[in-house]
Amino acid sequence: MVSHYDLSRTFEIKGRDFSKAGYVSINIKEILRELGIDPVIVRRVAIASYEAEMNVVMYASKGEMALKLNPKVIQITLEDEGPGIENIDMAMQEGYTTATDEIREMGFGAGMGLPNIKKNADVFELKSTVGKGTSYNIVIYLNSKGNV
């Protein structure tokens, strides 16, 4: 794992605030675009960070997302304060969701978030303590095409 990052940014996410939902991942996407990162990678990061962000909005009370990157790797971490996840294996399954009807009426909660993060990340680690919170570690490598 690379320990030295050239750029680092943190973003606050408020739980239950659907009006602002998605802004953090858009911000991250804009930064990567400005850096000239390969659009394919930008999209993978956009998807993974959006799903992570939405899970805080939907399930937790608040969270902090961090973007760290150097010319080789992009890392997104997320720490939230919330109910935590009881059974991570189950949560990772496609279609598994505990979203309320109300959330599903808004078009969220298809149970595809975590599987999508996994699909788009090179490394995805999920840790959780029930009653305290959840932490995500998402890593995406920039190959030689990282800078176009």
Partner 1 sequence: MEKCDGRMKCLRVCPTQAIRIRNGKAVILEEKCIDCGECITTCPNEAIVALTDPLGERSRFKYTVAIPSPALYAQFGRSILPDKILAGLKKIGFDDAYDLAITCGDTSLAIEHFLDEYNGPKPLISNCCPSVVSLIQVRYPQLVDHIIPIKLPKRLAAREIKERKAKELGLKPDEIGTFYITPCPVKMIAIKQPSSEKECYIDGAISIADIYDPLLSALESEDEGNYRKSLESVCILGIGWAVAGGMHRTQKLKNVLDVSGITEIIKTFDDIERGKLQNIDLVVAYTCPQGCVGGSLTMENRYISYNKIIRLLETLEEENIEACRDKREIRERYRQKYFHRQQKYEPRPIRALDEDLGKAIEKQRKKDEIYDSLPKIDCGICGAPTCMTFAKDVVKGDSQLSDCIFNIPNRLRELTSELSNLLDTFGSIGESEGQKSSKEK
- Tell me which residue has its CB nearest to ligand ADP: 113
Residue 55 found at the interface with Mg ion (CB under 5 A) = yes
Single-letter amino acid code for the residue at 53? E
Residue 40 found at the interface with partner 1 (CB under 8 A) = yes
Residues between 100 and 119 with contacts to partner 1, criterion CB under 8 A: 116
From the list 6, 66, 2, 64, the residue with the least C-alpha distance to 35 is 6
Beta bridge pairs of residue 12: 64
Name the one range near partner 1 by CB under 8 A: 11-19, 47-55, 89-97, 129-137: 47-55
Token pair for 15: 């739980």
- Beta strands, E only, the chain: 7-14, 62-70, 73-81, 123-129, 133-141
One residue of 59, 65, 67, 140 binding ligand ADP per CB under 6 A: 59
Residue 66 found at the interface with partner 1 (CB under 8 A) = no
CA dihedral 99, 105, 110, 111 (to 10 degrees): 0
Evaluated on CA atoms 143, 144, 147, 148, the torsion sign reads negative
One residue of 63, 82, 113, 115 binding Mg ion per CB under 5 A: 113
CB of 120 to partner 1, least distance (A): 9
* Residue whose CB is less far from partner 1, 131 or 148: 148
Name the one range near ligand ADP by CB under 6 A: 30-38, 39-47, 77-85, 138-146: 77-85
Residue 41's H or E segment, with its range, is helix 39-59
Note the residues at the interface with ligand ADP (CB under 6 A): 51, 55-56, 58-60, 80, 82-85, 91, 96-99, 109-114, 134
